[in-house]
Amino acid sequence: MAGSVTVVDYGSGNLHSVAKALERVGASSVDVSADPAAIRSAQRIVFPGVGALGDCMAELRRRELDTAITDAVAGGTPLLGVCVGMQALFEHGEESGGTAGLGLMAGQVRAFPDNLQDLTTGQRLKVPHMGWNEVHQVIEHPLFAGIPQDARFYFVHSYYAEPAGPDPIAAFTLYPYPVTAAVAAENVFGVQFHPEKSQEHGLTLFANFLTWDGRP
């Protein structure tokens, strides 16, 4: 049975569309909250984000939501990070001279280079990486249940996560080289794409999260 979920509100992000998608797939309740106490006591947490990692982390710290999130994760609460919410899981981002993340996963967030080219045609690829792309799963995970291999999801990002090692990588996409599309470590899962914009497969991932107990 789908349970309740708390969506982290740090003053930015696509909160309305994420909340609506969670309601659509059967969440018993969806609480969009900027209250650290509500985050710490949440049954499940969705941490969405758009825009700049530096702005995201600054607001999290100002509102004391950074420690609320890390405390909840340490207590075993299932967490789903989306887009910048996934990037914030890592130790550091190189944007704006450097931004410290939550440090829940080892690794960096790096900018796409300016000279990206299609490996077949040589055509220059645009940054940000925007639009639909295939997601190749490299591990079995409860959040991928019912989602076919190489299903297409919607991306919008100029930076990408580079884990310190291969262990957290749950899926990748090609742009034009393998780019981390999803990460997993114990009760934490993150996706670079936007499930709320990814139609059927995105809704399936959200539905899977609502019944996930935080175990791989």
> Which residues are part of the catalytic machinery?
83, 194, 196
155 vs 145: CA distance, rounded Å: 20
Q: What is the widest separation between alpha-carbon atoms in the chain?
A: 52
Q: Residue 210: what residue type? A: L
- 106: exposed, middle or buried (Cβ count in 10 Å: 0-12, 13-18, 19+): middle
Could you tell me if 136 and 149 are in contact, meaning their C-beta atoms sit under 8 angstroms apart? yes
Return the bridge partners of 178, or none: 174
- 90: exposed, middle or buried (Cβ count in 10 Å: 0-12, 13-18, 19+): buried
